[in-house]
Structure 1
Amino acid sequence: MGRESLAKFSTMAKSYLAVIFLQFGYAGLAIIAKSALNKGMSHYTFAVYRNITAALIIAPLAIFFERNVRPKMTISIFLKIMVLGLLEPVIDQNLYYTGMNYTTATFTTALGNVIPGITFILAWILRLEKVEVRKLHSQAKILGTAVTLGGAMIMTLVRGPNIGLPWTKHTQHVQTETALHSQQDLVKGAVMIIAGCFCWASFYILQAITLKSYPAGLSLTSLICSAGSLQASVVALVAERKNPAAWALHWDNKLLAYIYSGVICSGIAYYLSGVIMEDKGPVFVTSFNPLSMIIVAIMGSFMLAEQLDLGKVLGAGVIVVGLYMVIWGKKQDEVPPESTGNQIALPSTLVKSSDTLRGVAGDEAV
């Protein structure tokens, strides 16, 4: 394996490791946020504190590392940043966690698997994703996206018998009462989650577009979080005007949710997503979302006593198959054609040897 192949493999491995790290980060947040919401955390102030934390962490890094490479701010870039700050930090976060408050962490992350499908369609329309319908790998990406969505629907709609895990058996009667209660608000929560996911997918698309004219990832992340915190503050001040206690900070799981989400899921996640998108595109980033659902399903059974049933396990298996198809299709996009027509590509060493022999033969003829 040559140096170029090693460098390419190293870059590819870093992209995969980074996107898997993101999914573990999002999965951890789903558990922490659900626990905090169960104890009365306001999702309005959550959006404010989350983005303020992210801005305070990332801004110094942006000032130090990108002071010589930061592009000039224009009206077009400023407007894009304001829209980015509205789409995910404000609209998505409030809708998504309102929906989670009505349902469960596992249900929310399962329904969040519509994000890859929405992102794929938007990227296809805007020509950010290479799709050649007649090619097998493009068909795999389309079919894999559909399979992933189908798996998410199986997890959402198919129940089946509970899988009696040893650490959840003693809480089964509590979960049954919770399930009956959440069933009343299931539709309302699902609509909010899907609407939030559409904003999240749109955020990824607009971020990929903005990075082309403003290729300073740390600076863009800090500006998005700053804009998001300002806009979220306006929304929270209106929504919680009669509840000043919602702004109180204590040493509890609410504070953990603010700090964890700000550092991991806004600051680091926005920046890493941008870095990965510059090389792989927005569809690659979102295609790994099903991983967080599987992680949350397992962690939720441990930490929140959420029951695992046959539908969730079956849906997770289907999602893994769809995810593999999408990854395979994306990988084939990067494989250059090894031959053109009927010509066989020769190794470079043989080509050089052939040129040398040809030159020697020419000298002898002279």
Structure 2
Amino acid sequence: MKEEQWAPVIVMLISSAAMGSVNALVKKALDFGVNHMIFAAYRMAISAVILVPFCYIWERKTRPRLTFMLLVEHFISGLLGASLMQFFFLLGLSYTSPTVSMALNSTLPAITFALALIFRIENVQNLKSKAGVLKVSGTLICVLGAMFLTFYKGPQLSHHHSHPVALHNNTLHNNGHDQTKKWLIGCLYLIIGTVLLSLWMLFQGKLSAKYPSTKYSSTCLMSVFAAFQCAILSLYKSRDIQDWVIEDKLVIFVIFYAGIVGQAMSTVLTSWSIKMTGAVFVSTFIPVSLVSATLFDFLILHSPLYLGSILGSIVTVTGLYVFLWGKKSETHQSDSNSFPTSNVCQKIENEDKNDSNTKLPN
């Protein structure tokens, strides 16, 4: 692999590992009872402020003129990829765990593929090929893994005495039937958030094509709209102004960490990697976030592990790579089909050259 091809790999490894740690820390902050949309509003506002200097220094000459349509498109982008997505995703995270959230997020490529079929972005006729069968199979396996995570929690695998804090919180807030009900509702919210993120990726693909070389400005503008949208959505849970006053130092640290690393850095790096290598390549690194969230949650935050989370994660990741195997086969097939055409064109071109060099007899 060439040196320039290693850059997206390293970037996505760092970004995916960081996102796993972000989700684990966000879960810890939400356990303190913070309104999750107030948390999201602060996160998006910090992301916008952090990106302003980058927009001015590197994109002030290439940034397109601010028009009404540009504002509308970024408003929709913020709604799909930030505010509504975080509304459901953070709510689901508060009811489940970072491991489950990242495992269900691993169904993103399969859900995106299904939505591409619905919106006719993907060709239905290609499903009869080997690559099409693999992609459909991978999609179904991902859905099976998501259902397994949703409906089966299983026994706790970690030792009870090794996680006293997690067990204490579990006893206070989640007991018996209420725990199962919250788990199911949380998984449903996470799936809705993943669908919204898939819609954002499809929308962002067209938006990036219309406004190239503006990854900082585009992310900043999206974050500004999303901050106001999250503030409005926070009213559904509480309208007390005191909820916006956060005094806990850990929660403040997590807000800044999530805004800088989880939103500003992650969105910019993901957009750059998609531009360099494509969305399919980027989606292959989602399991890195899953592993990172699981390890960070278990080793650093001392949260318990459940059998259902492990088995469901394995099934989901298996489906993901079956899907990607089909996508890779499709790419190779399209490349091989282009070779004969290019050879024929080259042959015709050579024959034309020979004919032009041949002199007719007098």
What band does the TM-score fall into relative to the shorter chain? 0.7 to 0.9
Greater shift in the superposed pair: 156-165 or 50-59: 156-165
1:75 to 65, 68, 71: 68
2:311 to 310, 314, 329: 314
Summarize deviations over 1:256-280 as a string: whole Å, max 9, x none: 2211111112111222222223344
The residue identity in structure 2 corresponding to 1:6 is K
Q: CA RMSD in A?
A: 3.5
2:141 to 135, 142, 147: 147
RCO higher in 1 or 2 (8 Å CA, sep ≥ 6)?
Answer: 2
Summarize deviations over 1:277-296 as a string: whole Å, max 9, x none: 33444444345434323332
Greater shift in the superposed pair: 105-114 or 90-99: 105-114
2 CA distance for matches of 1:24 and 1:30?
A: 10
* Matches for 1:58-73 after TM superposition, within 5 Å: 58-73=51-66
1:227 to 222, 225, 228: 225
Displacement, 1:339? 7.1
Task: Establish whether residue 6 from structure 1 lines up as the match of residue 7 from structure 2.
Answer: no
Task: Establish whether residue 210 from structure 1 lines up as the match of residue 203 from structure 2.
Answer: no
Contact 1:119 1:283 in 2 (8 A): no
The residue identity in structure 1 corresponding to 2:57 is F
SS in 1 for 2:298: helix
* TM-score normalised by L of structure 2: 0.81
- Give 5+ residue unaligned stretches, structure 2: none
Match in the other structure for 1:240: 238
SS in 1 for 2:234: helix
Match in the other structure for 1:190: 187
Displacement, 1:119? 1.5
2 CA distance for matches of 1:217 and 1:176?
A: 41
* TM-score normalised by L of structure 1: 0.80
Query: Compared with structure 1, are the counterparts of its residues 266 and 164 closer, same or farther at alpha carbon in structure 2 (3 Å cutoff)?
Result: closer
Displacement, 1:34? 0.9
1 CA distance for matches of 2:229 and 2:71?
A: 14
1:91 to 84, 91, 97: 84
2:262 to 259, 262, 265: 265
Displacement, 1:81? 0.4
> How many residue pairs align between the two structures?
347
Displacement, 1:253? 1.6
2:335 to 331, 334, 337: 337
2 CA distance for matches of 1:310 and 1:238?
A: 35
Query: Compared with structure 1, are the counterparts of its residues 14 and 86 closer, same or farther at alpha carbon in structure 2 (3 Å cutoff)?
Result: same
SS in 1 for 2:65: coil
Displacement, 1:171? 7.0
Contact 1:80 1:206 in 2 (8 A): no
- Give 5+ residue unaligned stretches, structure 1: none
Query: Compared with structure 1, are the counterparts of its residues 171 and 63 closer, same or farther at alpha carbon in structure 2 (3 Å cutoff)?
Result: closer
Aligned-pair identity in percent equals: 24
